[in-house]
Amino acid sequence: MSDDESRSESASESEEEVSQDETQKQKEEEERRKREEEARREEAAAERQRKQEEKAKREAEEAAKKQRKPGQKRKGLGGLSPEKKRLLKQLIMQKAADEMKAEMKKRQEEKDNYLRSRVQPLQLDGLDNSALAKKVRELHARVAQLEGEKYDWEVKLRRQDIEINELTMKVNDVKGKFVKPVLKKVSKTESQLARIEKKEKTLASFRTQLKSTGQNKFALEEKDEASHKVDFRDQLKPAGEGDAPKEAAEE
């Protein structure tokens, strides 16, 4: 009896696993179909947008040809009217917005695909208490490992920033480049500036109104040094030489 029960339980478990696999496959198939439908809709919308742009361009060219006289040169955007210029600008902006949305969606899909490849889906159906406890321990160990890797990368980035700053300072020292300090901003109102300008003007006008006396107050007095000079050559001559000319004159 126990063998029959165990067989029936194993058969039921296998059936449950098969049903779970089938449901999982069905979900994946539905998601794939949804993605394909979305891609087809996007392609159709892009094709419609392209056709509209081509049609607007052809209409603009035809209108420009009709408006342009023989021998007249094209001006600006092909001689378009303001209304058509506005329409063309709207189409260009719409196309740029669509391209930006497509780029953002592509980046999000790449991010989701990377996360799916790194993080496996959590399967908890059909697990007993011991299996759940084991799964929790595995997840805890995985989270602890990832936190450790995150801390290591943060420390590495911090060290790299410090090294970059030190190397930058060394390069500046070698080049002799002076790093301009951050100056404190001082706000001066218009009234203060006007007061300073008025003070400078009054000082300049006072200096111009002063009269000159023609004398230099700080000039040094020049003395007649020639009258006070002593001729020592007469004292150095012998006594006989000074009397000889006098005697010759008397004779």
pLDDT tens for each residue of 57-107 = 888 877 777 766 555 555 555 567 888 888 888 899 989 999 999 999 999
For 4-50, write each residue's pLDDT tens digit.
Answer: 556 666 666 666 676 777 777 778 888 888 888 888 888 888 888 88
Contact yes or no for 64/79 (Cβ under 8 A) = yes
pLDDT of residue 222: 54
pLDDT of residue 231: 62
Put simply, whether the predicted model's pTM sits higher than 0.85 gets the answer: no
18: tokens are: 């098969």
Answer yes or no: is 136 within a domain. Answer: no
Answer yes or no: is 107 within a domain. Answer: no
Q: Say how many domains are in the chain.
A: 1
Answer yes or no: is 58 within a domain. Answer: yes
Answer yes or no: is 70 within a domain. Answer: no
Answer yes or no: is 159 within a domain. Answer: no
Answer yes or no: is 163 within a domain. Answer: no
| Crossing angle of the two packed helices 82-118 and 2-67, in degrees rounded to 10 | 160
Answer yes or no: is 147 within a domain. Answer: no
Residue numbers of the domain that contains 57: 9-65
pLDDT of residue 83: 84
Contact yes or no for 123/24 (Cβ under 8 A) = no
pLDDT of residue 1: 46
Contact yes or no for 52/91 (Cβ under 8 A) = yes
Answer yes or no: is 18 within a domain. Answer: yes
